[in-house]
Structure 1
Amino acid sequence: MRLPAALLAAVVALSALAGCSSDEPARPGVVTVGLQEPGTLLPADVDDQAGRLVTGALWTPLADYDPVTGKLTPRAAASITSPDRVTWTVKLRPGLTFHDGTPVTAKSYVDTWRAIAGENWKTTPVLTKSLRAKQITAPDPTTIRLVLDRPSSQVPAWLSAPGLVPMPASVLASRDWNAFAGHPVGDGPFRLADGWAPGTGGTLVRVTPAEGKATEVDLHVGDPVEQYDAVRDGSLDLVTSVAGDRHEAMHTDFPDRHTTWPLPEAGYLVFPTGDPRFADAAVRHAFALAIDRAALEAGPLAHQVDPARALLPPADAPGERTGTCRPCTFDAAAAKSLLAQSGFTGPTTVYFDPGSGTWTRPLASGLASALGVPVTAAQRPNGQASGPSTVDVKPASASPADLLSALASAAGYTDEGFRQDLAAAEAAGSAAEAGQLYRVAENQLLRDLPVAPLWTGHGHAVWSPRLHDVRASAFSGIDLAGLSV
């Protein structure tokens, strides 16, 4: 007998939580986790939270890099060093292997990076635009040597990018990236049993047992609202995203079993600085002051972001923040007065990319109301847009150099002093010195304001009482390998 379509869909939805029913006892060492569908599991092309969660369990990066302190924590690498910030040496830990049993060598990295550089993946610019190594070689199985075209202090941050993990020789030979994304083979604490089933999920199995830690993680793709309720009801252990209509309840439903962490994602309003209407910084500051960021966060962005408090998001911000971001403040009266003084009369259009219209349209409406000039929103045309544009930026590394350069480029901002600040920061002799110089560059962008910061992304998670040691970081999200049960 064939089930009606609606009933069949309900059965499929319920089966997504199979194996974690509240009527069944939890299996020892097995953790059930809810997540949304990853965009891909090809590590160099991942830029979404779900994809980073899974690939972060399947691979071990060379190191972890903290942009605030500049601290480098070696992982697959034993060390990353340089005598002059031009020639860099990466020493790998001995005995690394892929989940297919083949060894992870320095050549694995060199060949993988060569493949990444030849593609148009999310991590490709880290190699081709940021690192810009003249030479990358593997003089022996545990040594990677890089020679840059200039001194740079940012190499540890770039090499810690989660997309620069190695791929086995088999896929580098076949170049069947789609097949590999369905059955990824990494070198991390978990392997993916039986591949990834789109719309359903997959099972992570720990490679080397660790006392008290999860031995298996069952990943279930599903609706965040339903999964949140499943954790609350005891039929799911952890959900890695919290929908907007559960955001407030999270604090009472899980008072001591929820966490929030910064994501490498931020939204900006980019001004066309070459357009005479926006050549005056006063006009750009007026628009920035007219944006009610809190209303965007609570409304169309559904509590998935924080209102921007600086130009750089926390995931890419070096050092401790000092001072305030005046252009991040909503002040409609000051905005209207400043715009009137500038002589700007409008109308203008704010352009957006596909998928960003849900929050750009309310932003444009708010600008029109606060400034008293006609402001509309439209999807960005194929040619050059004739007005400001919203952009959603997802940095691939923790280096502030990448984001600052990308933002300036998007606005056509070519100030020589800013360029010199970036060059000085990159050539700095220490992480602390580089952080101070990047702050100088950030502050210049806030003064000239070719781009206005709008929001920064954050992740949420809630979990059941049986889980402990739930931790998260910006680029990998929840540390599945660290979960205790």
Structure 2
Amino acid sequence: MNSVARTAALVAGAVAMLVAPLAAMKALRDPDDPRLSVGAAPAATLVPGDVRDATGRMIAGAVWTGLMSYDPRTGSPVPAAAESVTSGDRKVWTVRLRPGGRFHDGTPVTARSFTDAWTAVVREGWHGARTISETAGLKGLKVTDDRTFEVTLDRPLNGFPALLGDPAFLPMPESVLRSRDWAAYGRRPIGNGPYRITSHGRETVLERPNARTIVVKSIPKPSDQYSAVELNRLDVATAVPSDRHETMDTEFRDRHLTLPGRAMTYLAFPSWEDRFTPAIRQTLSMAIDRSAITEGPLGHQATPANSLVPPGVLPGRREGQCRLCIHDPRAATAALTDAGGLNGTLNLWHEASDAAWVEAVAEQLRKTLTIDVQPRRVTAAELRTALDERKVDGPFVVHTTTPYPAPVAALRPLLEAGTGYEGEDVSDLITQAESAPTPDAGVTPARLAESALLRDMAAIPLWSAHDHFVWSERLHKITTDPFTGLNLTTLKPKN
């Protein structure tokens, strides 16, 4: 290639690089396109029992109708595909389906559409398997007739109906349950909900009779989503970049929303390390400036904790229960002196994804308490092994996601985090909360368990991830809830 040709090629390439982002932004939506568009990170999968991210849950909420859904105002479970979910002892549950349910291929939704789907989730080891086997404690399934089946759990659980809103419990049609061609099903899922998927790739097209078509576009970067809504090339952004958090209110006024989360991050303690007394654990909690971390390394994507229960768990949650979560360096320094100090190095065990904020917390502890703090990065497998072998010698990071809207559902995972914690009466209180006659009756023992856990500071609550949404002028206010995310079925244009 001669020099003139090379120069022309370079110029053409440079022009293409400049034009490509503009063309991509323009292609997001023609101003006259009647379809409603949503930007989101790509879903890992749309096989319902394997859904594991916010985009998957959002799409699943439109394409499938589960046994239960959630009231966005109260967070309480509401019957959907189920006509009733009843039990006399909270251990054996009878599920009765509404009549007339059908999948998008025209086949009926039966009791086996649910029971065989749950069996497949556990057999295939999908993401929802743990929810079915461990959180629910599923022990047995028995189909009584086409609309009725019986579920036996390994323990009484009054929150079981609320748990049935999770994608792990969605139904699948007989054809895919028989063929087990999960890859093909993931490319073009067949659900039983109000919307059906007509195309799935870089964009997922959802259609519904007598309603606007919805297009979920794969836009991984929050900044690209945000800019696209600003330019009216996109109707909803499901993420907001950290550098636009402070200007979001002025740029979108009443067209933005922060959704409280149901995921929490904690620092837990190994019970076999005697030096971490309750007084030392309380001291460490007061020395951590949570706001500095959420506004710094976490980029405004999390809310500082003031309770062991995340803010997205509405029924029964109490604000401000963790008084020792308030940053108070003077009190922390005095408390450390009163406790006799902390000997040796404080190792903070964590995975690679937590490195940035763990380093920041380590520096806060060094500066405030003048102690030696060292982050210790390990893999998830290495941490599990070290916990099993009781080799963890310092606080370790724990992430939990509350599986259903009840305070006890947020507390149970803290007993199963590998700490070896056996606080007085806490386990019994959590069992009482789960086995109470009703979820409301279980709130009091759950609150008592939370108070005991906070008194011992068995796990330091740090922060809860939250979601941000902004939307275009042509939409009414959007509807969300912490367990489904953005409700696609309620998206409507103003005219």
TM-score, normalising length: structure 2: 0.89
Deviations 1:428-482 (A, max 9, x none): 1122211122111111111111111000111111111110141111011111110
Q: How many residues align?
A: 474
Which whole-Å CA distance do the structure 2 matches of 1:395 and 1:16 have between them?
38
2:170 maps to which of 159, 165, 173: 165
- Within 2, Cα distance between the matches of 1:260 and 1:33? 16
Residue in 1 aligned with 2:330? 333
Find the aligned partners of 1:425 and 1:53 in 2 and give their Cα distance: 30
| Superposed displacement of residue 79, structure 1 | 1.6
Kept after mapping to 2: 8 A contact 1:365/1:376: no
C-alpha displacement at 1:402, in angstroms? 4.0
Out of 50, 61, 67, the position equivalent to 1:56 is 61
Alignment of 1:193-204 (within 5 A): 193-195=198-200, 197=201, 200-204=202-206
Identify which of 80, 86, 91 aligns with 1:86.
91
Contact persistence 2:49–2:118 (CA under 8 A): no
Q: Distance in 2 between matches of 1:155 and 1:468?
A: 34
| Counterpart selection for 1:387 from 374, 380, 394 | 394
Cα distance in 2 for partners of 1:401, 1:92 equals: 27
Aligned letter for 1:202? T
Q: Report if the CA contact (8 A) 1:261-1:473 is conserved.
A: yes
How far apart in 2 are the matches of 1:115 and 1:9? Answer: 46
Which moved further from structure 2: 149-158 or 360-369? 149-158
Q: Which residue of 1 aligns with 2:222?
A: 224
Write the distance in 2 (CA, Å) between the matches of 1:432 and 1:141.
32
In 1, the alpha carbon distance for the partners of 2:294 and 2:281 equals 21
Which stretch of the first structure deviates more once superposed, 52-61 or 37-46? 37-46
What is the aligned counterpart of 2:289 among 267, 280, 292?
Answer: 292
How far apart are 1:399 and its partner, in Å? Answer: 4.2
CA displacement 1:239-290 (0-9 Å, x = unmatched): 1111111111110011111111122211111111211222x11111111111
* Amino acid in structure 2 at the alignment position of 1:250: M
From 454, 465, 473, give the equivalent of 2:473.
465
What SS class does the counterpart of residue 393 from structure 1 fall into?
A: strand
User: Secondary structure at the residue paired with 2:262?
Assistant: strand
Partner of residue 237, structure 1 = 235
3-state secondary structure, aligned to 1:356: helix
Relative distance call for 1:355 and 1:123 in structure 2 (3 A) is same
Instruction: Report what 1:455 is aligned to.
Output: 463
- Asked if structure 2 preserves the Cα contact closer than 8 Å seen for 1:67 and 1:398, the reply is no
Match of 1:315 in 2: 312
* Corresponding position of 2:452: 444
Deviations 1:303-323 (A, max 9, x none): 111001100102335415165
Which residue number in structure 1 is paired with residue 43 of structure 2?
38
Distance 2:20 2:124 in 1: 37
- Give the 3 Å change call, closer, same or farther, for CA 433–72 of structure 1 in structure 2: same
Could you tell me how far apart the structure 2 residues matched to 1:120 and 1:471 are?
32
Q: Which residue of 2 aligns with 1:475?
A: 483
Counterpart CA distance in 2 for 1:139 and 1:17 is 54
Deviation of 1:342 after TM superposition, in Å, equals 2.3
Q: 1:100-139 CA distances to partner (integer Å, 9 max, x unpaired)?
A: 3322211010011112223433322222123224321221
In structure 2, do the counterparts of structure 1 residues 65 and 144 end up closer, same or farther at CA, with 3 Å as the change threshold? farther
Match of 1:209 in 2: 210
Cα pair distance change 1:175/1:395, threshold 3 Å: farther
Gaps of 5+ in 1: none
- Please name the residue that 1:408 is paired with: 415
CA 1:166–1:351 in 2, change beyond 3 Å: closer, same or farther?
A: same
Native 8 Å contact 1:35 1:219 kept in 2: yes
Show CA shifts across 1:386-436 (max 9, x none).
221112222333344443222122122123511110111112112221112
Residue 142 (1) aligns with residue 147 (2) = yes
Cα deviation digits, residues 336-367 of structure 1 (max 9, x gap): 22223323133111111231112221112112
Is 1:432 paired with 2:440?
Answer: yes
Residues 93 and 152 in structure 2, CA contact (< 8 A), matched pair in contact too: yes
**Local SS of the residue matching 2:125:** coil
Distance 1:147 1:68, change over 3 A: farther
Relative to 1, partners in 2 of residues 1:437 and 1:332: Cα closer, same or farther, differing over 3 Å?
A: same
Q: Which residue identity is paired with 1:473?
A: D
Distance 2:243 2:75 in 1: 37
Report SS of the residue matched to 1:152: coil
Partner of 1:348: 346
More deviation in 156-165 or 3-12? 3-12
Q: Indicate how the Cα distance of structure 1 residues 261 and 447 shifts in structure 2: closer, same or farther if over 3 A, else same.
A: same
What secondary structure does 2:61 align onto? helix
Cα drift, residue 182 of structure 1: 3.0
Partner of 2:375: 377
Q: CA RMSD in A?
A: 2.5
Closer, same or farther: CA 468–150 of 1 in aligned 2, 3 Å = same
